[in-house]
Homo-oligomer: A and B are copies of this chain.
Amino acid sequence: MKPIIFIILDGLGDRPIKELNWQTPLEAAQTPNLDAMAQFGITGLIHTIERGIRPGSDVAHLSILGYDPRHYYSGRGPFEASGYGIQLQSGDIAFRGNLATTNDKFIVVDRRAGRIESSEPFAKLLNGIEIDQVKVIAKAGLNHRIAVVLRGPGLSDQITDVDPHLVNKPVLRCQPKNDSSQAKFTAAIVNKLIDHAHKLFKEHPLNKKRVKNKQPPANYLLVRGAGKLMNFKSFFEVYGLKSACIAGAGLYKGIARILGMEITDVSGANGKPDSNIVGKIKKAIELTKTYDFIFVHIKATDSLAEDGKFAEKMHFIEKIDDAIAPLLPFVKNRRLIVSVTGDHTTASDLRIHTADEVPILVAGFGVRTDHVEKFGERPCQRGGLGHIQGRNLIDFLINLRGESHLYGN
């Protein structure tokens, strides 16, 4: 059976940009290898949730991995916490946290505390404390990122974010979303934790040093995306494929770990524009010897667009194009199935995720080709896949191998 390499370029899709002569970064990029795969494969446009629905990265990934977020998603927290290596238990409530900078009126000045080097010293202050018999688990991610988990009886994920999601806005108080005593109790715990963290953080020597150096202090903990772990069947149980994940950023590792994928490490794979993507692709090829499905996640296409850096996104796509060159002979020999797409569009002009469809190419074993010769938003409008929905993608790929479950007789 042919292995599948499943490459997600986060936020790949984009909109026509005036400075790129009304092309998108992908259209404007020189991508001879992606174009060769498009020529040798089939292309189309994918809407990862529904047409017109603007997705976060978490639900978009669940959907394109075949897990309907309406059943498997209650918040981003559990995927983030799992990605940082926290083993979640049933009943835990998990959050994504940011170390942030607030002024003395509790207005958010910087949602990422100047992308501080590490949240490790701050996570340590909170990890293991108890509030009203609820245990707090805190673990550092990259830079300002921190995962927070509440463990104890009677907790609910029906609570609001503390993170206002915007700068120059006041921090929010956590509120219950319904009248249940669990939601009220959990919201109260969160508010106590946030206040406690603020007291500890603002006095921390590291912050005193940051203020002296005119760096924004990490004096506030903004949590968001409260969620509990849903009852997942593993990727192997659902699809019968041995799977591995190559990702830099925590969220994607977390999703993969929850789906029972093997999490592998590639040195220098950090989810940033200087990530070792050459190493990731080499690793993916190597893993095809032992795995059926290799999920490769590349993050910076999204982050660059969220910062409005369309030219940098274009150049990063060109770097990706170089990095995937070693896949070409395997695709042409039909020894692999390679899928390249994104989880959503990130519009560089608007600096947000949008619901615009994302180009997709699938090449290698079993593929019926089409006439598209270039990988891009507009060329793929004419692709043989047409407009495909995210939840159908894994079934489509597994079918190419020729072994999927027969429905009927």
How many angstroms from the CA of A244 to the CA of B51 in the assembled complex? 25
List the B side residues contacting A408 at CB < 8 Å.
Answer: 55-60, 69, 73, 76
Q: With A355-B399, A402-B350 in contact, is A56–B394 under 8 Å at CB?
A: no
List the B side residues contacting A45 at CB < 8 Å.
Answer: 386
Which residue from chain B places its CB closest to the CB of A96 in the assembled complex? B409
Q: With A354-B402, A387-B387, A399-B355 in contact, is A53–B407 under 8 Å at CB?
A: yes
How many angstroms from the CA of A353 to the CA of B405 in the assembled complex? 11
List the B side residues contacting A49 at CB < 8 Å.
Answer: 407
List the B side residues contacting A309 at CB < 8 Å.
Answer: none
Residues 369-409 (chain A) with a chain B CB within 8 angstroms: 369-371, 377-378, 381-384, 386-389, 392-399, 402, 404-409
Q: In the complex, how many residues of chain A place their beta carbon closer than 8 angstroms to a beta carbon of chain B?
A: 60
Judging by beta carbons under 8 Å apart, are B350 and A59 in contact?
Answer: no
List the B side residues contacting A24 at CB < 8 Å.
Answer: 368
Judging by beta carbons under 8 Å apart, are B399 and A356 in contact?
Answer: yes
Q: Does A15 contact B (CB under 8 A)?
A: yes
How many angstroms from the CA of A399 to the CA of B60 in the assembled complex? 16
Q: Does A224 contact B (CB under 8 A)?
A: yes
List the B side residues contacting A406 at CB < 8 Å.
Answer: 54-56, 353
Q: With A75-B409, A409-B224 in contact, is A396–B15 under 8 Å at CB?
A: no
Q: How far is the CB of A49 from chain B (nearest CB, A)?
A: 6
Q: How far is the CB of A322 from chain B (nearest CB, A)?
A: 26
Residue of A224, A366, A381, A407 with highest tally of chain B CB at under 10 A = A407
Residues 299-330 (chain A) with a chain B CB within 8 angstroms: none
Judging by beta carbons under 8 Å apart, are A407 and B54 in contact?
Answer: yes
Q: Does A225 contact B (CB under 8 A)?
A: yes
Q: Does A52 contact B (CB under 8 A)?
A: yes
Copies in the complex: 2
List the B side residues contacting A16 at CB < 8 Å.
Answer: 368-369
Residues 38-79 (chain A) with a chain B CB within 8 angstroms: 45, 49-60, 69, 73, 75-76
Q: Does A259 contact B (CB under 8 A)?
A: no
Q: Does A190 contact B (CB under 8 A)?
A: no
Q: Does A12 contact B (CB under 8 A)?
A: no
Judging by beta carbons under 8 Å apart, are A51 and B396 in contact?
Answer: yes
List the B side residues contacting A392 at CB < 8 Å.
Answer: 50-52
Q: How far is the CB of A141 from chain B (nearest CB, A)?
A: 15
Judging by beta carbons under 8 Å apart, are A386 and B389 in contact?
Answer: no
Which residue from chain B places its CB closest to the CB of A60 in the assembled complex? B408
How many angstroms from the CA of A58 to the CA of B406 in the assembled complex? 11
Select which of B224, B225, B350, B404 is within 8 A of A54 by beta carbon: B404
List the B side residues contacting A369 at CB < 8 Å.
Answer: 16, 378
How many angstroms from the CA of A399 to the CA of B50 in the assembled complex? 12
Select which of B224, B356, B389 is within 8 A of A51 by beta carbon: B389
Residue of A45, A381, A405, A408 with highest tally of chain B CB at under 10 A = A408
Residue of A51, A366, A389 with highest tally of chain B CB at under 10 A = A51
Select which of B51, B368, B386 is within 8 A of A395 by beta carbon: B51
Between-chain CB contacts (< 8 Å), 16 pairs: A15-B368, A51-B388, A53-B407, A55-B406, A56-B407, A56-B408, A59-B409, A352-B402, A355-B395, A355-B396, A355-B404, A356-B368, A356-B399, A368-B377, A369-B378, A371-B382
Contacts A60-B408, A381-B383 aside, 4 further interface pairs with beta carbons under 8 A come to A51-B388, A53-B407, A56-B408, A381-B384
